[in-house]
Amino acid sequence: MGTEKNYEDFAVDDGKKEIITQTISLGIWFVFILFLSGNWFWIGGWIFALWFIGLMLARNIYLRRKDPELLKERSMKPGTGNQKKWDKYLMYLISAVFVTWFLIMPLDAVRFAWTTNFPVWLNAVGGILLIISFFFSYRAFTDNTFLSPLVRIQSERKQQVVSTGVYGFVRHPLYLGDVLFFIGTPLFLGSKYGLILGVVMFFLIAVRIVGEEKMMLEDLEGYADYKNKVKSRLIPFLW
């Protein structure tokens, strides 16, 4: 009993250390974003930083406590497992656009002010989209233990179709949260170039959805029935 207790204490301490490390890493990233903006008192940047850090920590804390198998799955690198080859290259493209999107917004909205006279009501719309994004991004993790970052069938985990929770609303709620994130952030921060790249991210996600669904229709039992039950891939009543 004593050995088991010591091991549990060690695991908890190790988990806490990793959460602290992740928090510091995210903090350093956003210090760099504020540095790019040239304004350490950029209120929008601070609000967005706290929002993003909160989402990442909420996800990670949930996975560590409730679903360590999904946490392990989420740590898989591109090209591992039985990931579709096309998805590996698409992920690299998405990552490149993501980094560009992330870096250009502070340059556009603050340092060089390429975007001027951005309507305040659009900033408010962006904030609302980020709140909704948080909900779908978090709930997708809690509702689907098979939420892999790779397009692959998890046969070793006996993957099944998930149709409850937010998966009863749209077939790809995490991608919905991502799209709201990529559109809502530049609206909130006031960056037209960030918005343009956000739209590009939307289309890249749409391409991935089409490929992912083709795979699941071919290889995942019950997905065809789920597709007939939940009509919307991403945007309710539209697509």
Q: Please write the tens of the pLDDT for every residue from 182-224.
A: 999 999 999 999 999 999 999 999 999 999 999 999 999 999 9
| pTM confidence score | 0.88
What band does 4 get if pLDDT is binned at 50, 70 and 90?
Answer: very low
Domains annotated for the chain, with CATH where assigned, are 2-229 (1.20.120.1630)
HEC per residue, 175-211: HHHHHHHHHHHHHHHCCHHHHHHHHHHHHHHHHHHHH
What band does 17 get if pLDDT is binned at 50, 70 and 90?
Answer: low
Give Cβ neighbours of residue 145 (< 8 Å, ≥ 6 apart): 67, 69, 70, 162
pLDDT higher than threshold 70 for residue 19: no
Place of tokens 């937010």: 166
Q: Please write the tens of the pLDDT for every residue from 107-156.
A: 999 999 999 999 999 999 999 999 999 999 999 999 999 999 999 999 99
